Amino acid sequence: MVNTGDTAWILTSAALVLLMTPGLALFYGGMVRAKSVLNMMMMSFGALALISILWVLYGYSMAFGDDVGAGLLGDPGQYFGLKGLMEDVTSEDGGYPIMAFVGFQAVFAIITVALISGAIADRAKFGSWMVFSAVWATIVYFPVAHWVFDFSADEHVGGWIANNLAALDFAGGTAVHINAGAAGLALALVLGKRRGFGRDAMRPHNLPLVMIGAGLLWFGWFGFNAGSALAANNTAAVAWVNTLVATAAATLGWLLVEKVRDGHSTSLGAASGVVAGLVAITPACAAVSPIGAMIIGVIAGALCALAVGLKYKLGYDDSLDVVGVHLVGGLWGTIAIGFFASADSPSAVDGLFYGGGVDQLWRQVVGALAVLAFSFVLTWIIGTVIQKTIGFRISEEDEITGIDNVVHAESGYDFASLGSSGSTAPLSGQARAEARNTERTLA
């Protein structure tokens, strides 16, 4: 018998998490200049389409198939095309259909890939991004999801971080945020800085979009964290409340740092603080008390507000701060479990500050660093191979003209209310070719 309450919550949560990727597109899209807003959003929508397909074909099987050795990888063939997963295998005492879990985990894979795009704003060929997404999901995300999310049960053998190491990562501080953050850093290094980085003003072109995006991310994140309980129960409720307070505290933490350092509390700071808090509480939301969540949150907000300045000091162009927010926030949240975990929480483990010693702390550190190193090295290799073969960066001229125009043949905004900016008459193939030639001659 399917437990209808649990199943309804998992399916709802999956839809909530799916909405996070379009939310991320808005969050990122508002932060770039007007000439690249569409490309920024397209990287998220491209990942949404592509990773969904890969997940159904072999991604789920690589992450949640039986382990092929040492907890490193699931068997890609076992559930290829989700074979054998359509029949109702729920047990007598309840549970949820495995397809609900397949859907819920699919949207995690999608957003992890989409998160990386923030590091390479304005300058990546769309086709190369899609190739990168497919390869990265296959050899980085699917294995790491296996390490972190695949628990052993009965005959089934899962991944090494979840089972052998027993690091706690409730909803993906390692698999999602450290993973995407380290990948963002590697890719920013491979692609290099945008033209004019550190010299030209690259102001966010639409902060209301950023605020809408942050709102949608927060909304969807309740599915991400509370949904990770995989049941409509007490654990989900604790995760929900911790997700609320940690995020609120992080927003205040970020704004406070800005007020003291820069003299103004900004809306971009509020939106960024929201995301920093959400990132940090993601691994910890079922392992800490609400007060613990608050402390983790406020530190996350302040820490990330300081960390986003690193790129100017160290000279890498992580355009939208995937490193400063997701890597730093993910590391902090994952390691903070070692300090703030409370045995009263659903995870039932005590951290250092609750008399549990360093036992949980070292597990958290090892898990975090393992994902960081694996993701950074493999991403650097994938990125470099793409750069050297099909090319990853657009030309200088195209970058200055604006990637929306050149790569997608669109403009994000048309505010002109007077006159005509062209004709809508459909061109024949030949006329179109002639127009192109004229354009070239003129150029």
Contacts (CB under 8 A) with other proteins, residues 267-286? 268-269, 272
Q: What is the CA radius of gyration of the chain?
A: 22
- In the bound complex, what is the minimum distance in angstroms from residue 196's beta carbon to other proteins? 12
Among 90, 266, 405, 411, binds other proteins (CB under 8 A): 266
Applying CB under 8 A, among 203, 259, 388, 432 the residue interacting with other proteins is 203
Residue 89: exposure state from Cβ atoms within 10 A (0-12, 13-18, ≥19):
exposed
Nearer to other proteins, 199 or 440 (CB): 199
Interface residues for other proteins in 380-399 (CB under 8 A)? none
Q: How far apart are CA 355 and CA 35, in angstroms?
A: 54
> Residue type at 245?
V
Which one of residues 153, 201, 314, 409 is an interface residue with other proteins (CB under 8 A)? 201
Whether 23 contacts 210, CB under 8 Å? no
CB of 177 to other proteins, least distance (A): 18
DSSP state of 204: -
Decide: is 309 part of the binding site for other proteins (CB under 8 A).
yes
CB of 83 or CB of 259, closer to other proteins:
259
What does the alpha-carbon distance between residue 403 and residue 411 come to, in Å, rounded to a whole number? 9
Shortest distance, CB of residue 265 to other proteins, whole angstroms? 10
Distances (CA, A) of 213 to 47, 123, 206: 17, 22, 11
CB-wise, 45 or 197, nearer to other proteins?
A: 197
Residue 312 binding other proteins, by CB under 8 A? yes
Burial class (CB in 10 A: 0-12, 13-18, 19+), 414: exposed
Is 283 or 329 the residue whose CB approaches other proteins more closely? 329
Query: Is residue 130 a contact partner of residue 173, using CB atoms and an 8 Å limit?
Result: no
Candidate ranges 159-167, 265-273, 365-373, 391-399; the one touching other proteins (CB under 8 A): 265-273
Among 321, 350, 399, 404, binds other proteins (CB under 8 A): 321
Q: Are 51 and 137 in contact (CB under 8 A)?
A: yes
> Of the listed pieces 224-232, 262-270, 340-348, 369-377, which binds other proteins according to CB under 8 A?
262-270
Measure the CA–CA gap between 24 and 115, rounded to whole angstroms.
8
CB 276 → other proteins: shortest distance, Å? 11
355: left (phi over 0), alpha (psi -120 to 50) or beta: left
Minimum CB distance to other proteins smaller for 67 or for 321: 321
Identity of the residue, 269 or 338, whose beta carbon is nearer to other proteins in the bound complex = 269
Q: Does 204 bind other proteins (CB under 8 A)?
A: yes
Of 111 and 305, nearer to other proteins (C-beta) is: 305
Per rule CB under 8 A, count of chain residues that contact other proteins: 19
Tell me the residue type at 153: A
Under the binding rule (CB under 8 A), the answer on residue 208 touching other proteins is: no
Query: Bridge partners of 67?
Result: 74
Within 174-193, which residues bind other proteins (CB under 8 A)?
none
∠277-282-288 over CA atoms, to 5°? Answer: 90
- Rule CB under 8 A: say whether 308 interacts with other proteins: yes
Q: Which of 67, 122, 169, 258 binds other proteins (CB under 8 A)?
A: 258
Measured from the CB of residue 258, what is the shortest distance to other proteins in angstroms? 7
Written as six digits, the tokens of 275 are 């995301």
- Find residue 156's DSSP bridge partners: 153
In 285-349 the beta strands, taken as DSSP E runs, fall at none
Treating both helix axes as pointing N-terminal to C-terminal, what angle do 290-307 and 234-262 enclose, rounded to 10 degrees? 40
Q: Annotate 334-363 with b (16+ C-beta within 10 A) or e (fewer).
A: bbbbbbbbbeebbbebbbeebebeeebbeb
In the complex, least distance from residue 251 CB atom to other proteins, rounded to whole angstroms = 14
**Which residue number, 306 or 365, has a Cβ lying nearer to other proteins?**
306
Residue 121 interacting with other proteins (CB under 8 A): no
Considering the complex, state which of residue 220 and residue 269 has its C-beta at the smaller distance from other proteins. Answer: 269
For residue 264, state whether it binds other proteins (rule: CB under 8 A). Answer: yes
At 156, give phi and psi (nearest 5°): -75, 135
Window contacting other proteins (CB under 8 A); options: 57-65, 163-171, 261-269, 405-413: 261-269
Q: Is 440 in the site for other proteins (CB under 8 A)?
A: no
The CB-of-203 to other proteins minimum distance in angstroms stands at 6
Q: Quick one: CA dihedral 9, 15, 20, 26, positive or negative?
A: negative
Burial 426-437 (b: 16+ CB within 10 A, else e): eeeeeeeeeeee
Residues that bind other proteins (CB under 8 A): 201, 203-204, 258, 261-264, 266, 268-269, 272, 305-306, 308-309, 312, 321, 324
